[in-house]
Amino acid sequence: MTVLLEIGNISRFDSVGDFSSYARCVESKCISNNKKKGQNNRKCGNRYLSWAFHEAAHHSLAHYPPIKVFYERKKRKTNGMIAIRAVAHKLPRACFHVLKKREAFNMALAFQ
């Protein structure tokens, strides 16, 4: 419910990337010639939406085995914080498609 209240009208987002950025689930940095040039507006977006997706990511690890498998695979390559951010990034992408296209959530498409 928090997510729906914080989003408002989903049609104001043109793409899934715009929505993920608004939800603060993507990193904001400027890279030019493979060199870091700055931290573009890292506080832009909705902090409550970010919190809601991170909480959903933590709870989904306990209740959905495909998400747990994705998390463990990511955690082996990096660390736990980056892995949970990856799960939290997948959730707004799935949420955007569910709300924009009005289709049911497909776990196989979201977490492969």
The domain spans of the chain are: 2-110
- pLDDT at res. 42: 65
* Dist. CA 79–CA 92, nearest whole Å: 21
CA separation (Å) from 80 to 9, 25, 83, 85, 111? 33, 16, 5, 9, 17
User: What does the pLDDT look like over 13-47, one tens digit per residue?
Assistant: 899 888 888 888 887 677 778 877 766 666 777 88
* Dist. CA 17–CA 29, nearest whole Å: 14
- pLDDT at res. 52: 93
Q: Which two tokens stand for residue 71?
A: 């998390």
Higher pLDDT residue, 31 or 55?
55
Query: pTM above 0.85?
Result: no
Angle at alpha carbon of residue 112, lines to 20 and 14, rounded to 5°: 25
User: What does the pLDDT look like over 56-72, one tens digit per residue?
Assistant: 999 999 999 999 999 99
Q: Is 83 exposed, middle or buried (0-12, 13-18, 19+ CB in 10 A)?
A: buried
Q: Are 46 and 22 in contact (CB under 8 A)?
A: yes
